[in-house]
Amino acid sequence: MRRNMRITWKFLQKFSLERTRSLLMSTRPIHVLDDNVVKMSTISPPPECLFKPMNFPHKVLMGPGPSNCPPRVLGANALPLLGHLHPEFTLIMDEVKAGIKYIFQTNNEWTVCVSGSGHAAMETACLNLLEPGDTALVGINGLWGERFADMVDRQGIDVKKLQRPMGEVFTHDEIEEALKKHKPALLFLTHGESSGSTLQPLEGVGTLCHKYNCLLLVDSVAACGGVPMFMDKWGIDCLYTGAQKVLSSPPGASPISFSERAKEKIKKRATRVRSFNFDMNHLANYWGCDGEARRYHHTGPISNIYAIREGLARLAEQGLEESWKMHKQCAELLHEGLEKIGLELLVKNKSIRNPCVTAVKVPDGVDWKAVTEYAMKTYRVEIAGGLGALAGKIWRIGVMGYNCTPDNIRLVLRALEEGLKMTGYSKL
């Protein structure tokens, strides 16, 4: 202890000597201000880039997200702030909850927005639904299963992987076999895989999970609102989505909902949730889901909540069935157009294609990046490349929410066709 104190004292002496020396050697003078406050000469100057106007090009975002926000959403985002516990603001939070219940088709009490992008909702599910001693079964057919498995592993919780190549989905039989074998507390599945562009069939999976005393967690960040979703009817125990896809709102507030079964598991945990920020016991109170007076937990992303409220209102006005129909029609228009210009879709089976994100194979010898650069330079249209094992091998086209229009599909097709011609692709 004494030795430690001597070391600390020596360190302090050395530190202050060096600090004094650097101040003395400083070439700039120390200014004495009028009010006798000494301004240190070592202050860095303000960054020059902030004195220039922000560079802001308008782009048509037809990648896997974000999608463009309609003016009413942008307008809401620019409204003046209210306090995060003011009654007018908590009323807006209640309206957001009602909107989430509608798009998820659920009556779950624990329905909130997590502050943060889709990853924050993903982490909330992981941290609350699992604890040491549990096993999680993770369906991996693209990036999102891999990410979730990583999140589970970081908590020191046992992960079992159910794997399929990108572009394929899981069958009920293989899910049941894995449930029998691993006896997991939780099964994770991605509804709309944005890296492999598949749509995982979910009907019946909840019943299967419950038969084996397992909770079903579904990531529908890149699908919800654009395809049918019936959280309660399908027995999904935890479901989350993102703001910046079909809801066409800025990222930063992510809808999530927990079934009674999931809530009970969280309430009966033997250990505390390993995150204060994402602890659903706190978030449920802040979102007025527990019948108690709302307490300060954190400052909610006020502007994002305004914006997602309008994104949800837009979808409610359109109606879920109309939105699902529009996404299907626009996706079909896109798929036909792609095939007409000689391109091949990654997912052959039409019934498992995610209409919100389409993966298109890059033909042999074509420089995928040159084509996306052409689209951006000529039309300011974003078309994305592939991820992981499919990097360089596919393009990904997003058709979501406000961007889901036949005009946007025609624009993407024109940009792709011209881009391909420009690279010398001969099949056109």
Ligand X SMILES: Cc1ncc(COP(=O)(O)O)c(C=O)c1O
Residues within the annotated binding site for substrate? 396
Contact present, 130 and 153 (Cβ < 8 Å): no
How many helices (H) and strands (E) are present in the chain, helices listed first? 13, 16
The tokens for 31 are 């200014």
Q: Pick one of 144, 306, 368, 402: the residue that binds ligand X (CB under 6 A).
A: 144
Residues of each annotated binding site? 396
65 lies in the binding site for ligand X (CB under 6 A): yes
Strands (E), 249-377: 252-258, 357-361
| Residues 174-211: b if buried by 16+ CB within 10 A, e if exposed | ebbebbeebebbbbbbbbbbbbbbbbbbbeebbebbee
In the complex with ligand X, the residue whose CB is nearer, 277 or 281, is: 277
Binding of ligand X by 117 (CB under 6 A): yes
Q: Which of 62, 63, 64, 226 binds ligand X (CB under 6 A)?
A: 64
Q: Is 394 helix (H, G, I), strand (E, B) or coil?
A: strand
Return the number of the residue (331 or 420) whose C-beta is nearest ligand X.
331
- Of residues 70, 82, 89, 119, which one binds ligand X by CB under 6 A? 119
Of 251-280, binders to ligand X (CB under 6 A) are 251
Q: How far is the CB of 118 from ligand X (least distance, A)?
A: 2
Residue 357 beta carbon to ligand X: minimum distance, rounded to whole angstroms? 7
Binding-site string for ligand X from residue 183 to residue 212, where x marks contact by CB under 6 A and - marks none: -------x-x-x------------------
Is residue 205 within 8 Å of residue 237, measured between CB atoms? Answer: no
Interacting span for ligand X (CB under 6 A) from 101-109, 112-120, 224-232, 314-322: 112-120
Distance of CA 372 to the CA centre of its chain: 23
The residue number whose beta carbon is nearest to ligand X equals 118
Distance of alpha carbon 207 from alpha carbon 349, whole angstroms: 25
Instruction: State in angstroms the smallest separation of the CB of 141 from ligand X.
Output: 11
CA atoms within 13 A on the CB side of 389: 11
Q: Which stretch binds ligand X (CB under 6 A): 6-14, 95-103, 219-227, 347-355?
A: 219-227
Residue 146 beta carbon to ligand X: minimum distance, rounded to whole angstroms: 11
| 355 binds ligand X per the rule CB under 6 A | no
Span interacting with ligand X, options 1-9, 215-223, 265-273, 366-374, rule CB under 6 A: 215-223
Q: Smaller CB distance to ligand X: residue 224 or 366?
A: 224
Between CA 232 and CA 205 the distance in angstroms is 12
Q: How far is the CB of 66 from ligand X (least distance, A)?
A: 8
Cβ-in-10-Å burial (0-12, 13-18, 19+) of 350 comes to exposed
Stretch that binds ligand X, among 42-50, 173-181, 214-222, 263-271 (CB under 6 A): 214-222
Contact pick of 221, 239, 262, 359 for ligand X (by CB under 6 A): 221
Report the relative pairing of strands 158-163 and 135-140 from DSSP bridges. Answer: parallel
Q: Quick one: 117 or 285, whose CB is closer to ligand X?
A: 117
Please report, to the nearest 10 degrees, the dihedral formed by the alpha carbons of residues 347, 349, 350, 353 taken in order: -40
Is residue 219 close enough to count as binding ligand X by CB under 6 A? Answer: yes
Max alpha carbon distance in the chain (Å)?
81
Beta bridge partners of 360: 345, 395
- Which of 63, 100, 112, 118 lies at the binding interface for ligand X (CB under 6 A)? 118
CB 357 within 8 A of CB 397: yes
> Is residue 237 involved in binding ligand X (CB under 6 A)?
no
Q: At closest approach, how far in Å is the CB of 242 from ligand X?
A: 4
Nearer to ligand X, 243 or 415 (CB): 243
Given 242, 301, 355, 398, the residue binding ligand X (CB under 6 A): 242
Return d(Cα 365, Cα 59) in angstroms, integer.
28
Minimum distance from residue 239 beta carbon to ligand X (Å)? 12
What is d(CA 375, CA 134) in angstroms, rounded to the nearest whole number? 47
Work out how close the CB of 224 gets to ligand X at its nearest, in angstroms, rounded to a whole number.
Answer: 10
Of residues 175, 222, 236, 338, which one binds ligand X by CB under 6 A?
Answer: 222
Using DSSP bridges, classify how beta strands 110-116 and 38-39 pair: parallel, antiparallel or unpaired: unpaired
Alpha carbons 125 and 141: distance in angstroms, whole number? 19
What are the residues binding ligand X (CB under 6 A)? 64-65, 117-119, 122, 144, 190, 192, 194, 219, 221-222, 242, 251
